[in-house]
Amino acid sequence: MLSMYEIAIPSLKRMLTNLSSILKKGEAHADAKKIDHSVFLNARLAPDMYPLTRQIQIATDMSKGGVARLAGVDIPKYVDNEATFADLQARISKTLAFIDTIKPEQLTGSEARDIVISVRGTSLEFKGKAYLLNWVNPNVYFHVTTAYNILRHNGVELGKPDYLGPRD
């Protein structure tokens, strides 16, 4: 049986690492084509969707918040003021560094931990396993996928291997 650590940590780290690589390709493409970085950073798939920068912020927030709640530790606070590719890379790096501080024993028993979050004024209650599998992971995947799609839609040469990352 997989532990909560095995379910949570490797997949979140993989997705954030892949997101970092996707952003690097986006920045390189913008530079090669002489496209102002703000065009990509502010791009969105639809008028009512968040831009690329916010997609990265949410993916990192979900990752750090998810593991922190499961581990019973304070969630690192970020300002959400990223304005460059370098800022976004730094945010991903500090999220990965935080995730690396979580030890397997901190997640032992977290599958049954009561998790309560507030979303747009609504209180949502989960047990730890459902929180990870039905809230954290789907949200991280959604926002990483959306970031990928924003860049791909804007001409960045990305493929499924960029999203999936290297094979283990």
Q: Which residue has the higher pLDDT, 107 or 166?
A: 107
Would you say 86 and 118 are in contact if contact means Cβ atoms under 8 Å apart?
no
CA atoms within 13 A on the CB side of 81: 3
Name the CATH superfamily housing domain 7-164: dinb family like domain (1.20.120.450)
CA–CA separation, 159 and 86 (whole Å): 22
Domain boundaries, the chain: 7-164
List pLDDT tens digits, range 27-44.
999 999 999 999 999 999
CA dist 106 → 72, 82, 151 (Å): 8, 30, 36
pTM above 0.85, yes or no: yes
List pLDDT tens digits, range 109-157.
999 999 999 999 999 999 999 999 999 999 999 999 999 999 999 999 9
Would you say 56 and 147 are in contact if contact means Cβ atoms under 8 Å apart?
yes
Would you say 126 and 115 are in contact if contact means Cβ atoms under 8 Å apart?
yes
Instruction: Give the per-residue pLDDT at 168.
Output: 74
Q: Give the amino acid at 85.
A: F
Instruction: Give the per-residue pLDDT at 1.
Output: 84
Q: Could you tell me the end-to-end alpha-carbon distance of the chain, in angstroms, rounded to an integer? A: 20
List pLDDT tens digits, range 4-25.
999 999 999 999 999 999 999 9
Would you say 141 and 62 are in contact if contact means Cβ atoms under 8 Å apart?
no
Quote the percentage of the chain above a pLDDT of 90: 98
